[in-house]
Amino acid sequence: MQVLSPYEVASIRLLSAGLVLIPFFWRSVQRIPADKRWLVILSGLLGSFFPAYLFCIAETKIDSALAGILNALTPLFVIMVGFSFFGLKVKFIQTIGILIGFIGLCLLVILGNNINLQYFQYAFLVLIATLFYGINVNMVGRYMKGIGSIDIAAMAFVFLIIPCTIFLYFSGYFHYPLHQQSYWQSTLASATLGIFGTAIASIIFYMLVKRAGPLFASMVTYGIPFVAIGWGIWGGEHVNMQQVVCLSVILIGVYLANRK
């Protein structure tokens, strides 16, 4: 995003994911029941489309390490959404876990180095994205168990090719000097994120949701903060001890919320 706008990075990411899955599209449409196709498209919007833009916009003001830490709240949103709309039974220990997780979130914001209204607003975009993740995971776990993971990903991401192409067109991306190194490297980085971090990762994640359930699948977010912090440090970002402590509090809450 030092070269491209957050909207362009997100659009290239999703466009690339859709393009690599085109060979599976027609077979997927035939396999997915007609009454479930709109759910698959909605899954693509909630699980990938909106979060991709929200994360990119947020990271114009917050570090990627912090975004990764906030992403650890996903399992808590899975439980809250499941309880509120999908009939998930929540035990007392899970409620305690949710409260601890949000205490960690509040401490993370309070102890941050750049505390101001703008900072909180951009961090809040990541929270909205994790809420969308929570809705999507519950929806896939409840209504799409009989649909193949590749079929879900192919139909969802190929559908997103059109809006992403429109976004790129009106952003002026196709008029950039794409032959210059900075532009094609940024484009390649965004496409790599789309192919590996979106298309392939989503297929594997959908498999996990349907085989192990939404709560267990959402626990992959345990690892995301550590990967994000590692990349952040490698990229020159500053991670302080307060953030590590807050991450620990959040993960304790996530553990209690998912404990059986």
Q: What is the pLDDT of residue 117?
A: 54
Asked if residue 34 lies in contact with residue 99, where contact means CB atoms within 8 angstroms, the answer is no
Mean pLDDT over residues 60-87, rounded? 84
Spacing of C-alpha 221 from chain mean position: 10
Per residue in 118-159, pLDDT (tens digit) is: 667 888 999 999 999 999 989 988 898 889 999 999 999 999
User: Model's pTM, two decimal places?
Assistant: 0.85
CA angle 165, 1, 43 (to 5 degrees): 50
Reference 66, options 216, 258, 248, 247; nearest CA is 247
Q: What is the pLDDT of residue 178?
A: 92
Mean pLDDT over residues 31-50, rounded? 94
Per residue in 183-227, pLDDT (tens digit) is: 999 999 999 999 999 999 999 988 888 787 776 777 676 777 778
Domain boundaries of the chain, sorted by first residue: 6-258
Q: What is the pLDDT of residue 167?
A: 95
Q: What is the pLDDT of residue 115?
A: 46
- What are the backbone angles phi and psi of residue 60, rounded to the nearest 5°? -80, -15
Check whether 39 has a pLDDT greater than 90. Answer: yes
Confidence band, pLDDT 50/70/90 cuts, at residue 228: confident
Confidence band, pLDDT 50/70/90 cuts, at residue 169: very high
Q: What is the pLDDT of residue 78?
A: 85
CA dihedral 70, 76, 82, 85 (to 10 degrees): -60
Check whether 177 has a pLDDT greater than 70. Answer: yes
- Who's near 153: CB < 8 A, 6+ residues apart? 17, 21, 199, 202, 203, 206
116/195: higher pLDDT:
195
Check whether 114 has a pLDDT greater than 50. Answer: no
